[in-house]
Amino acid sequence: MNAVSSIETISADGASLSVAVQKKFSAGGAPGFSLAAEFSVPSGITILFGPSGAGKTTLLECIAGLARPDNGRISAGDRVLFDSERRIDLPVSQRSIAYVFQTLALFPHLSVAQNVQYGLARLPAAEKRLRARQILESFRIEHLAGRKPDAVSGGERQRAALARSLVTQPCLLLLDEPLAALDSATRSKIIADLRVWNATHRIPVLYVTHSREEVFALGERVIALEQGRILAQGTPQQVLEAPRHESIAQLAGFENIFDAVVTTLRPEQGTMRCCLQDTQQKGNVELEVPLARVTPGAKVRIAVRAGDILLATEFPRALSARNVLRGRLLTLARHGVTVIAGVDCGAQIEAHLTPGACDALHLQVGQELWLILKTYSCHLVAG
């Protein structure tokens, strides 16, 4: 199944990034990791989403010029940064790209203001100070100008690193999980400031993350990357809410992923019934799921969020949900404010509920239960 959807046309202001690169790494002679990615993004924030080891950082390094693709082409706006056919490979220092590393890489021996002015070496001193002050103000860290990076807080360091990169007026901003170490309140404030900045400086921003929350907080567009390949791109909702690929489903927080066989199609209902595969000996467990273009007997994979499953201690009646599965409670564990219930109903299913709900139901390990799944909580994904 081809999961790559087409991307909207490049925005009219002309600022865009287009990338088509291949790079192979060999591990001791054996073919190792390989990166092959082709995409183009308009100005605005694009999330590069994927598990660690997916090649996100390598991709950013190729764009910045810190790593050299084996072949391909990279251009930002009308500037060609790399083109293997035309033998163009702009040096890192001439690409006018901003890159904020995961470690930030603030110069420890320079003050915040000196860090920010570092990229402005060619400007006259007065102009340097003016621009540095403006950017420090827009990231609300002007009061830290004289301090060394060691002497400011984590969130302020992040702001300083952003300010240092953006003061050079780059044509492209690359962010490699720069906010991963921050608490969510600090993170969302910085993201808000970044959005404000991006609204007046329309350049493409590539933001690498493996955090689902960040994807929804930031993303206008998402590119999902795994093992060096682009699996899907589109809006966060398209890519993550209805994942069409198993590995994205796992990343996007779908705790239950089942292999199933389509038994009957019900086109008039817009649904189909599927039999979960590892349950056939114990009597079939069937789920009613949204209709797809398949024929009976086809193998499909179904992803369900644990939080989308309802638990009942009696057989529920008068319910709109199409799937009611009878099972036995195997495990019950509390993680923070989430209670994780492991239920055996032929297949092992994980369901999440709140501690309050757990107490109200008087759940006991070993007791009989009914699981309730809405048809539209069952997502079909590609393996």
Q: Which residues bind another protein (CB under 8 A)?
A: 64, 66, 91-99, 101, 103, 105-109, 118-119, 121-122, 164-165, 168
List the beta strands (DSSP E) in 56-199.
Answer: 71-76, 79-83, 88-89, 98-100, 173-176
- Which residue type, as a one-letter code, is found at position 233? Q
Cβ 115 to another protein shortest distance, Å:
9
Inter-CA distances, 168 with 26, 89, 164, 173, Å = 36, 21, 7, 11
Distance of alpha carbon 188 from alpha carbon 155, whole angstroms:
11
Q: Which is nearer to another protein, 168 or 238 (CB)?
A: 168
Q: Which is nearer to another protein, 174 or 353 (CB)?
A: 174
Q: Which is nearer to another protein, 66 or 332 (CB)?
A: 66
CB contact burial 276-294 (16+ within 10 A = b; e otherwise): bbebeeeeebbbbbbbeee
Q: Which is nearer to another protein, 97 or 251 (CB)?
A: 97
Q: Which is nearer to another protein, 66 or 363 (CB)?
A: 66
Cβ 66 to another protein shortest distance, Å:
6
Q: Check: CB of residue 357 under 8 Å from CB of residue 377.
A: no
Cβ 73 to another protein shortest distance, Å:
20
Cβ 105 to another protein shortest distance, Å:
4
Reported as type and span, the H/E element at residue 249 is helix 246-251
Cβ 175 to another protein shortest distance, Å:
13
- Packing angle of the helix pair 184-200, 125-138 (nearest 10 deg): 130
Distance of alpha carbon 272 from alpha carbon 243, whole angstroms:
18
Q: Which is nearer to another protein, 42 or 65 (CB)?
A: 65
Cβ 60 to another protein shortest distance, Å:
11
Q: State the Cα angle at 266 between 265 and 272, rounded to 5°.
A: 55
